[in-house]
Amino acid sequence: MKKIYIALIGLVTLGAMGCKKNYLDVTPPDKIDAQVFFNNATDLQVYTNGFYDQVPVTSGLTYTVYTDDASSDNILPLQIVDRVKGARVVPVARGTGGWSFSSLRSINYFLANYGKCPDAAAKQKYGGIARYFRAYFYYDKVKTFGDVPLYTKVLTADDPDLYKPRDSRTVVMDTVLADINYAIANIPKTVALNNITGYTALALKARICLYEGTWRKYHGIANYQSMLNEAVSAADALISSGAYKLYTTGGANTAYRDLFARVDQDVTETILARDYSKLVQVNGVDYFMTSATGGAYGIPKDMINSYLMKDGTRFTDIPNYQTKQFYDEMQNRDPRLTQTTAGPDFAAYLETAREPVNLSITTTGYRVIKALSTRDQWVSNGGYSDFILFRYAEALLVYAEAKAELGTLTQADLDRSVNLLRARAGMPNMNMAAANATPDPFLLAQYPNVEKGANKGVILEIRRERRIEMFNEGLRWDDLMRWKEGKKLEQPMVGIYFPSLGSFDFNNDGKTDVYLHNGNASGAPAGTSSVVNVTQKALTNGTSGNFFPLKGITITFDENKDYLYPIPSEDITLNPKITQNPGWK
Domain boundaries, the chain: 392-491, 496-554, 559-585
Strand ranges (E), 419-560: 497-498, 502-504, 514-517, 530-533, 545-546
User: For the segment 326-367, what is each residue's pLDDT rounded down to a tens digit?
Assistant: 999 999 999 999 999 999 999 999 999 999 999 999 999 999
Comparing CA positions, the residue from 506, 534, 546 lying closest to residue 357 is 506
Comparing CA positions, the residue from 74, 75, 76 lying closest to residue 553 is 76
Judge whether residue 63 has pLDDT over 90.
no
Q: How confident is residue 1, by pLDDT bands cut at 50, 70 and 90?
A: very low
The values of phi and psi at residue 167, to 5°, are -85, 150
Residues 396 and 418 sit within 8 Å (Cβ to Cβ): yes
Task: List Cβ neighbours of 62 (8 Å cut-off, separation of 6 or more).
Answer: none
Rounded Cα distance, 24 and 496, in Å: 61
Q: How confident is residue 5, by pLDDT bands cut at 50, 70 and 90?
A: very low
What is the DSSP annotation of 205-244?
A: HHHHHHHHHHHHHHTT-S-HHHHHHHHHHHHHHHHHH-S-
Q: What pLDDT does 9 receive?
A: 34
Q: What pLDDT does 486 receive?
A: 98
Judge whether residue 64 has pLDDT over 80.
no
Comparing CA positions, the residue from 260, 236, 237, 238 lying closest to residue 247 is 260
Residues 304 and 493 sit within 8 Å (Cβ to Cβ): no
Judge whether residue 394 has pLDDT over 60.
yes
Residues 487 and 447 sit within 8 Å (Cβ to Cβ): no
Lowest mean pLDDT among 38-47, 64-73, 216-225, 268-277: 64-73
Task: List Cβ neighbours of 87 (8 Å cut-off, separation of 6 or more).
Answer: none
* Residue 2: strand, helix, or coil: helix
Taking residues 452-480, what's their average pLDDT? 97
Determine the length of the chain: 585
- pTM, whole model, 2 decimals? 0.94
Task: List Cβ neighbours of 218 (8 Å cut-off, separation of 6 or more).
Answer: 449, 482, 483, 484
User: For the segment 490-499, what is each residue's pLDDT rounded down to a tens digit?
Assistant: 999 999 999 9
User: For the segment 516-545, what is each residue's pLDDT rounded down to a tens digit?
Assistant: 999 999 999 999 999 999 999 999 999 999
Query: Vertex 214, ends 424 and 245: CA angle to 5°?
Result: 25
Q: What pLDDT does 57 receive?
A: 55
Rounded Cα distance, 169 and 256, in Å: 37
Residues 428 and 422 sit within 8 Å (Cβ to Cβ): yes
What rounded mean pLDDT belongs to the chain? 93
- DSSP code for 368: B
Rounded Cα distance, 330 and 91, in Å: 44
The values of phi and psi at residue 281, to 5°, are -155, 140
- For the chain, count helices (H), then strands (E): 20, 9
